[in-house]
């Protein structure tokens, strides 16, 4: 089992755990009250810093209910946190754009993450023909 060292910046947020035992994603919570007006951008503090296992990265995304509950969207769609972002002051934050006026309270679940192994080193080999069956281009299911 992999181990992640974690530093909490607030004792007002719940400790990290798997989502209700139903998923291998882990919820992240706002560690400060955030008031946003429509059109405003903020980095929502998530109250944790982590030292990921060697060779892993974290993928940070909004929860499925984040837009419905708070009217915010994550501006980078999926945040990638690599293993080098592991210092004592490297608190995770969610870059968010408010689509309506909103208030996010301390301990509100706004994001989730999971860790993935880093991509292995690859080498590109340039060829003139791939020698595979064509599917018909972008967006095609391969059927006419």
Measure the CA–CA gap between 45 and 57, rounded to whole angstroms. Answer: 19
DSSP string, 24-52: S-EEEE-SS-EEE-TT-EEEEE-SEEEEP
| pLDDT bucket at 140, cuts 50 / 70 / 90 | low
- Kindly state the average pLDDT of the residues 62-69: 96
- pTM comes to 0.85
Tokens 């974290």 sit on residue: 58
What SS3 class is residue 102? strand
* Distance (Å) of CA 26 to CA 19, 22, 37, 83, 120: 6, 10, 28, 18, 25
Q: Place 17 in a pLDDT band, splitting at 50, 70 and 90.
A: confident
- Which residues form the catalytic set? 82
Phi-psi region of 45 (alpha: psi -120 to 50; beta: other; left: phi over 0): beta
Whose CA is closest to 91, among 29, 8, 5, 3? 8
Domains of the chain, earliest start first = 5-117 (2.70.40.10)
Locate the DSSP E strands across the chain. Answer: 5-8, 26-29, 34-36, 41-45, 48-51, 56-62, 72-74, 79-81, 93-98, 102-104, 109-117
Split at pLDDT 50, 70, 90, the class of 22 is: confident
Q: How far apart are the first and last CA of the chain?
A: 47
Mean pLDDT, range 72-99, rounded to an integer:
95
Query: Of how many residues is the chain composed?
Result: 144
């Amino acid at each position: 089992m992999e181990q992640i060292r974690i530093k909490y910046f607030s004792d007002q947020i719940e400790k990290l755990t798997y989502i209700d035992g139903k998923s291998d994603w882990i919820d992240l919570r706002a560690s400060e009250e955030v008031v946003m007006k429509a059109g405003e951008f903020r980095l929502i503090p998530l109250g944790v810093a982590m030292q990921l296992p060697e060779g892993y990265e974290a993928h940070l995304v909004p929860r499925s209910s984040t837009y419905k509950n708070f009217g915010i969207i994550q501006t980078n769609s999926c945040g990638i946190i690599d293993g080098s972002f592991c210092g004592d002051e490297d608190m995770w934050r969610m870059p968010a754009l408010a689509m309506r006026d909103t208030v996010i309270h301390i301990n509100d679940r706004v994001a989730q993450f999971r860790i993935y192994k880093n991509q292995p080193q690859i080498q590109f080999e340039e060829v003139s023909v791939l020698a595979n069956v064509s599917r018909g281009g972008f967006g095609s299911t391969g059927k006419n």
